[in-house]
Structure 1
Amino acid sequence: MSPGSSRTTATRGAVTSREINTYKGQERALRADRLGTAGLLLSVLAASAPLMVVAGVMPTVFGVMGMLGQPLLYVILGFVLILFSVGYAEMSRHVHNAGAFYAYIARGLGPTAGAGAAYVALVAYSAMQVGIYGILGFEVSGLLAAHLGLTVAWWMPALAAAVLVAVLGWLKIDLNAKALGVLLVIECALVVVFDVAALAKPGREGLSFAAFDPGSLTGAGLGTALCFCIAAFIGFEQSPVYAEETSRPQVVVSRVMFLAVGFVALFLAFGAWALTVAAGPGAVVGEAAEQGPGLLFALTEARLGDTFTDVLHVLFVTGMFAALLSFHNVVARYAFAMGREGLLPAAFSRTSAASGAPATGSLLQSAVSVLVVIAFAASDALPAGDPTTPVLRLFTWMGNVGALGVILLMAAASFAVIAFFFRRGAALAQAWRLVASALAGIALVGIAIYTVRDFDVLIGAGPDSALSWILPGVVGAALVAGLLYGAVLRVTRPDAHARVGLGNEAFELERAAERGDSQKRHHDS
Structure 2
Amino acid sequence: MTIDHHGAPSPAPPLPLASAPERRIGVTGIVFFVVAASAPLTVAAGGIPQSLGVTGILGIPLLYLLIGVVLALFSAGYAAMSRRITGAGAFYAYTAQGLGRSMGVGAAFVALLAYNAMQIGIAGLFGATTAQFIDSKTGVDIPWWALVFACTAVVGVLGYLRVDLGVKVLAVLLVLEFGTVLVFDIGQFADAPDGISTSPLTWGAATDGSLGVALCCVFAAYMGFESAALYSEECRDPRRTVARATYIAVALIGVFYAVTAWAMISGAGTGRATKVAAEQGPEMLFFLSDRGSLGSVFSDFAQLFLITSLLAALLSFHNAVARYVRSLGREGVLPRGLGALHPRHTSPYRGSLLQTLVSAVVIAVFALAGRDPVMDVFTWLTNLGALGVILLLFATSASVIAYFVRRREAVGEVVSEPLWNRLIAPLLSGVALAVIFWLALTNFSVQLGVSSGNPLRWILPCLILIAAAAGVAWGVWLRRFRPDTYAGIGSAAGQ
When normalised by structure 2's length, the TM-score is: 0.94
- The corresponding residue for 2:235 is 246
How far the C-alpha of 1:367 sits from its partner, in A, is 0.8
- The corresponding residue for 1:391 is 374
Structure 1 unaligned spans of 5+? 1-21, 383-388, 507-525
Distance 1:293 1:271 in 2: 14
The residue type equivalent to 2:447 in the other structure is L
**1:431 pairs with 402, 410, 419, which one?**
419
How far the C-alpha of 1:486 sits from its partner, in A, is 0.5
| 1:159-203 Cα shifts (integer Å, max 9, x gaps) | 111111111111100110110111011111110111111111212
Conserved? CA contact 1:48–1:232, under 8 Å:
yes
How far the C-alpha of 1:134 sits from its partner, in A, is 1.0
Conserved? CA contact 2:109–2:471, under 8 Å:
yes
| 1:236-269 Cα shifts (integer Å, max 9, x gaps) | 2100100000110001110000000000000000
Distance 1:66 1:206 in 2: 20
Q: Secondary structure at the match of 2:293?
A: helix
- The corresponding residue for 1:157 is 147
Conserved? CA contact 1:102–1:115, under 8 Å:
yes
How far the C-alpha of 1:32 sits from its partner, in A, is 2.6
Distance 2:321 2:338 in 1: 11
| 1:32-64 Cα shifts (integer Å, max 9, x gaps) | 311011111111111010000010011111111
The residue type equivalent to 2:235 in the other structure is T
| 1:243-300 Cα shifts (integer Å, max 9, x gaps) | 0001100011100000000000000000000000000111111111111000001111
- The corresponding residue for 1:323 is 313
- The corresponding residue for 1:403 is 386
Number of aligned residue pairs: give it.
476
The residue type equivalent to 1:418 in the other structure is I
- The corresponding residue for 1:310 is 300
- 1:81 and 2:71 matched: yes
Q: How does 1:289-368 map to 2 (within 5 A)?
A: 289-301=278-290, 302-368=292-358
- The corresponding residue for 1:261 is 250
Structure 1 505/276 Cα, relative in aligned 2: closer, same or farther at 3 Å?
A: closer
- The corresponding residue for 2:363 is 373
Conserved? CA contact 1:332–1:359, under 8 Å:
yes
Conserved? CA contact 1:46–1:184, under 8 Å:
yes
Conserved? CA contact 1:30–1:357, under 8 Å:
no
| 1:327-371 Cα shifts (integer Å, max 9, x gaps) | 000000000000111211112101211211111111111011111
The residue type equivalent to 1:236 in the other structure is F
How far the C-alpha of 1:219 sits from its partner, in A, is 4.2
- 1:278 and 2:267 matched: yes
| 1:110-151 Cα shifts (integer Å, max 9, x gaps) | 101101001001111110011001111111111111100111
**1:53 pairs with 27, 36, 43, which one?**
43
Conserved? CA contact 1:23–1:504, under 8 Å:
no
How far the C-alpha of 1:23 sits from its partner, in A, is 3.0
- The corresponding residue for 2:492 is 503
- The corresponding residue for 2:403 is 420
Stretches of 4+ moved more than 6 A in 1? none
The residue type equivalent to 1:164 in the other structure is V
Distance 1:341 1:258 in 2: 29
Conserved? CA contact 2:85–2:493, under 8 Å:
no
Percent of aligned positions with the same letter in both sequences?
43
Distance 1:63 1:456 in 2: 16
How far the C-alpha of 1:430 sits from its partner, in A, is 3.0
The residue type equivalent to 1:194 in the other structure is F
Conserved? CA contact 2:50–2:277, under 8 Å:
yes
- The corresponding residue for 1:519 is none
Distance 1:175 1:137 in 2: 24
Distance 1:105 1:372 in 2: 29
The residue type equivalent to 1:444 in the other structure is L
When normalised by structure 1's length, the TM-score is: 0.89
Conserved? CA contact 2:14–2:331, under 8 Å:
no
| 1:379-430 Cα shifts (integer Å, max 9, x gaps) | 22x7xxxxxx111110011001100111010001001001111112156953
How far the C-alpha of 1:376 sits from its partner, in A, is 1.1
- 1:69 and 2:56 matched: no
After superposition, the CA RMSD in angstroms is 1.3
